[in-house]
Structure 1
Amino acid sequence: MRKARLLTTAALAVASAGLLAPPAAAAALAAGGGLEVHPATVMPGSTVTVNTTACGSDGSASGDASAVGAGTFTLAPGTHKETAVGQFKVPPSAQPGTYEIVAQCSGSGADGKRVMGDLIVTITSTAAAHEQQQVAPKGYVKTGVGGALGPDPVQTAAGVAALAVAAAGGTWLLHRRARGDRI
């Protein structure tokens, strides 16, 4: 009983610590302290866009996506006020996992400020997996025999006719052999 109470207390402590973390992260983003990664979950070979408001209205940044194998990239002032935007491509060889993408501001007010965001790499996208589950098979089995559902009824008829001629010829030859006629 005592062990169960101790485990319950530990679980509650971990859960409450997890509940306190998101508001702190949200406050950091609201203060312009984060790096937004779009899309946050990608497949290898995808292009990722990152932006931040931490660098000020005319600020730019130097981005680092070497954790996922993409190297460095540049964030420049974007079309939206006080936003620096940049892109990089996730290499096709990237392994599934969560990677930290970092940008360091350069410019007037926020020179040297460092912001971070997470990128999740998966092998299959959720949309692709959902589509694969709903695709029904279509067509016929290509066995080489033909059939009612085959692509060309003329070819099927020609195949049946060739088989009939071969069967008739074989029967005739066997019949002659049984009678003792020479070929």
Structure 2
Amino acid sequence: MRRTARLLTGTALAVAAAGLAAAPAESADGGALQVYPATATPGSQVTVNTAACGAKAAAAAGDATAVGAGTFTLAPSTHEGEAIGEFRVPPSAQPGTYEIVAKCAEGDRRVTGDLMVALSGAGHEQVQPRGSVKTGVGGALGPDPVQTTAGVAALAVAAAGGTWLLHRRARGDGI
């Protein structure tokens, strides 16, 4: 009974720790950097906003160098108390999760948010390969059905002849 209780307690602690680790990063005053869309493809536009820079929504300096987009500016928006900015995910960005940072102009507030880069996202269709592979062998329904038929006939004759020779050898008739 004690062993089961310890196992359940350990599992509950592990789940609680995982939940804390997955919580969004927030500043000391409770504001976070919100990233839209949270999952983007290379070449797409990303918008970030935060209410952590105060009621007057002072400007902030954004940093997306982790994904290769460089720095950008967050300016006061029409929404009360929010600063907003944009950057473009570079076409060379690799799939993964990147930390986007904003530092408020007034005070030492620093907020972060996560951006996930994927090769294809919602609303994007995956491109399927088209055409044929040029191997030099040809296909079953190649450009010339007469040549295909002749090749199949040659293979059938060779198989029949090989079988007949093996049968004669097995009987001891020789070749």
TM-score range, shorter chain: 0.5 to 0.7
CA-based RMSD of the aligned residues comes to: 3.2
Pairs within 5 Å for 1:1-183: 10-20=10-20, 25=24, 28=26, 32-56=30-54, 57-107=56-106, 111-129=107-125
Query: Are residues 3 and 90 of structure 1, via their aligned partners in 2, closer, same or farther at CA, if it must alter by over 3 Å?
Result: farther
Which string of whole-angstrom CA distances, capped at 9 and with x for unpartnered residues, describes residues 62-83 of structure 1?
0000000000000000111111
Query: Are residues 99 and 3 of structure 1, via their aligned partners in 2, closer, same or farther at CA, if it must alter by over 3 Å?
Result: farther
Q: How far has the Cα of 1:17 moved from its partner?
A: 1.8
- Measured in 2, the distance between the counterparts of 1:125 and 1:39 equals 10
Which string of whole-angstrom CA distances, capped at 9 and with x for unpartnered residues, describes residues 63-111 of structure 1?
000000000000000111111000000000001011000000003xxx2
1:32/1:52 contact within 8 Å kept: no
Helix, strand or coil: the match of 2:43?
A: coil
The two structures have a TM-score, normalised by structure 1, of 0.59
Structure 1's consecutive aligned runs of 4 or more residues displaced over 2 angstroms after TM superposition are 2-13, 18-22, 126-129
- Measured in 1, the distance between the counterparts of 2:86 and 2:64 equals 10
Equivalent position of 1:170 in the other structure: none
Which string of whole-angstrom CA distances, capped at 9 and with x for unpartnered residues, describes residues 19-67 of structure 1?
3556x649x48x5421000000000001000000011214110000000
Q: Percent identity?
A: 54
Helix, strand or coil: the match of 1:128?
A: coil
Q: How far has the Cα of 1:9 moved from its partner?
A: 5.3
Q: How far has the Cα of 1:112 moved from its partner?
A: 1.9
- Measured in 2, the distance between the counterparts of 1:72 and 1:4 equals 52
1:32/1:53 contact within 8 Å kept: no
One-letter identity of the residue aligned with 2:76 = P
- Measured in 2, the distance between the counterparts of 1:58 and 1:16 equals 34
1:104/1:115 contact within 8 Å kept: yes
Query: Are residues 89 and 80 of structure 1, via their aligned partners in 2, closer, same or farther at CA, if it must alter by over 3 Å?
Result: same
- Measured in 2, the distance between the counterparts of 1:5 and 1:126 equals 43
May I ask how many residue pairs the two structures share in their alignment?
A: 129
Gaps of at least 5 residues in structure 2 are 129-141, 145-175
Query: Are residues 104 and 144 of structure 1, via their aligned partners in 2, closer, same or farther at CA, if it must alter by over 3 Å?
Result: same
Gaps of at least 5 residues in structure 1 are 134-142, 146-183
The two structures have a TM-score, normalised by structure 2, of 0.61
Q: How far has the Cα of 1:3 moved from its partner?
A: 9.6
- Measured in 2, the distance between the counterparts of 1:85 and 1:102 equals 13
- Greater helix percent: which structure? 1
